[in-house]
Amino acid sequence: MKIVILGAGQVGASVAESLVSEENDITIVDTDAARLAYLQDRLDLRTVLGNAAWPSVLREAGTEDADLLIAVTQSDQSNLVACKVAKSVFNVPTRIARLRAADFLESEELLSADNFAVDFALCPEEIVTDYIAKLVAFPEALQVVEFAGGRVCLVAVRAYEGGLLVGKPIRAMREHLPPGLEARIPAIFRRGQPVSPDGGTVIEHGDEVFILAATELIRPALRELRRMQQPVRRLMIAGGGNIGLRVARRLQERYEVKVIEHSPARAEQLASALGNALVLAGDATDEDLLEQENIAEMDMFLALTNDDEDNIMAATLAKRLGCKRVVALINRRAYADMVQGGPIDIGLSPAQVSIGVLLARVRRGDVVGVHSLRRGAAEALELVAHGDAKTSKVIGRAIGAIDWPSGVIAAAIVRRIDEPQIVGFTDQGTRITRYGEVVIAHHDTVIEPGDHVIIFCVKKKLVRKVEKLFQVGFGFI
């Protein structure tokens, strides 16, 4: 596939790195010559220096025969103009734009083919906000991702000494789960390396374990691996920028929220925008300020400023002063890899969090969901099985009979996704309804047409093989 990426920032560079490894023809455009030179030295791609909204620059980038244009510059206006030019002048089939302003995001008419011609609008800040909200809901988790519209949940946790499964084989999990509750451990990472799990695999203290179940059943399954933390009630946010404001708005109704903002003028704006959160003008790396605001009583500290070093320092200080769990937003992936697991519980890379939504639009076959795991080292996919036993390599076959590449695990299936299923009742006796039947995959589980199959790839390079496996052929048998 020939792809033109506009913008060589964190999102553009992460997208380029993911796609270039899958044998795509990538050209990246930016006004920063040094940044382009850095990417060209590291990746097998072509670079063009210039304004991404100019037709002459787009022509030089080869847009006239591109299959896909991804506009992820820092400017909404440039991204919109580039998509319009790509459609009107070069007739690029698919155009994706990164947009921040709600005025653009909320207007389908403006993004339509007759106007700016944006096929898909990506807002990384909103994606990161959703992700952080899940981490607050699951304070013991390292990562939380959902599939099939939230029907299935995959959670990564650190196995701790004394957990019910630690020192025991995975098959022992069935002895502790309530009747009717099924869960799957599709992957384990031990000292940074993947372990292909089966029923006899023994979980060790410190393992990073991925556990998957229907969303309403994930908490009982997690209890097998970790001591459950108390639900979050009080949290502190360092930084009132785009992401900090979005997160505070999302969480202020359900939690006690404090926001620390360095700029007094910005703090006043935040105070006006946030009705139920306490806004403080100050420095989140100020030990006296954190102690005055009872950091030791906070259930979670979120360092969300635009400065990686400030986030690392603030989160480390908050942890030292007694905060139970700390999360730091870190743009440089090398920093995130380095600090997570020390005083900082989670180092969060915005580009890695948001890239999955974009990759789902790029993948071949009917891929409806992509999640980057372990900061890009692994991926989880949600694919729809199409065709029949004659045209598909997976339909009508048992999981154990399919020739999966080594390192690929079929973890679960969501079947009849449009049909309501009763999954429980409230205390008042009201039915709790979810759409789709969740089937935890076993070796004898047979894939049916229309199934949403959730696949775990311990290495990103395996994704291409999985996509080919799900492509419909002409008379396969």
Burial of 406 (0-12, 13-18, 19+ CB in 10 A): exposed
Does some domain include residue 459? yes
State the CB neighbour count (10 A cutoff) for residue 227.
12
Query: Domain span at residue 319?
Result: 234-324
Same domain, 297 and 375: no
Does some domain include residue 93? yes
- Domain end, chosen from 324, 344, 367, is at 324
Q: What is the pLDDT of residue 477?
A: 43
Burial of 38 (0-12, 13-18, 19+ CB in 10 A): middle
Does some domain include residue 162? no
Same domain, 388 and 448: yes
Q: What is the pLDDT of residue 20?
A: 81
Pull the structure tokens for residue 217.
Answer: 């059943």
Same domain, 315 and 403: no
Does some domain include residue 220? no
Does some domain include residue 217? no
Does some domain include residue 246? yes
Q: What's the CATH code of the domain at 412?
A: 3.30.70.1450
Pull the structure tokens for residue 150.
Answer: 């939230």
Q: What is the pLDDT of residue 359?
A: 76
Q: What is the pLDDT of residue 468?
A: 86
Same domain, 276 and 371: no
Same domain, 11 and 103: yes
Which helix (H) or strand (E) segment holds residue 156: the answer is strand 152-158
Indicate the Cα dihedral angle 212, 217, 222, 223, nearest 10°. -160
Pull the structure tokens for residue 128.
Answer: 């990161």
Does some domain include residue 279? yes
Q: What is the pLDDT of residue 418?
A: 83
DSSP E strands, 106-148: 120-122, 143-147
- The β-bridge relationship of strands 278-281 and 193-195 is unpaired
* pLDDT tens-digit profile, the chain (477 residues): 899 999 998 889 888 887 886 678 999 999 999 999 999 998 989 999 999 999 999 999 999 999 999 999 999 999 999 999 999 999 999 999 999 887 888 778 888 888 999 999 988 889 999 999 999 998 888 889 889 888 999 998 888 777 777 888 888 877 777 777 788 888 888 887 888 888 888 988 888 889 999 988 888 777 766 565 678 999 999 999 989 999 999 999 999 999 999 999 999 999 999 989 999 999 999 999 999 999 999 999 999 999 999 999 999 999 999 999 999 999 876 676 677 667 888 888 888 788 777 777 776 557 888 887 776 678 888 999 988 888 889 999 999 999 999 889 999 999 988 888 777 666 666 777 778 889 999 899 999 999 999 999 888 788 888 888 888 764 444
Same domain, 103 and 34: yes
The domain tally of the chain equals 3
- State CA 45 to chain mean position distance: 25
Same domain, 370 and 465: yes
Q: What's the CATH code of the domain at 281?
A: 3.40.50.720
Same domain, 311 and 359: no
State the CB neighbour count (10 A cutoff) for residue 440.
18
3 state SS of 224 = coil
Query: pTM of the full predicted structure?
Result: 0.84
Same domain, 260 and 362: no
Q: What is the pLDDT of residue 30?
A: 96
Same domain, 118 and 6: yes
Same domain, 309 and 359: no
Does some domain include residue 243? yes
- Domain end, chosen from 122, 143, 174, is at 122
Same domain, 368 and 266: no
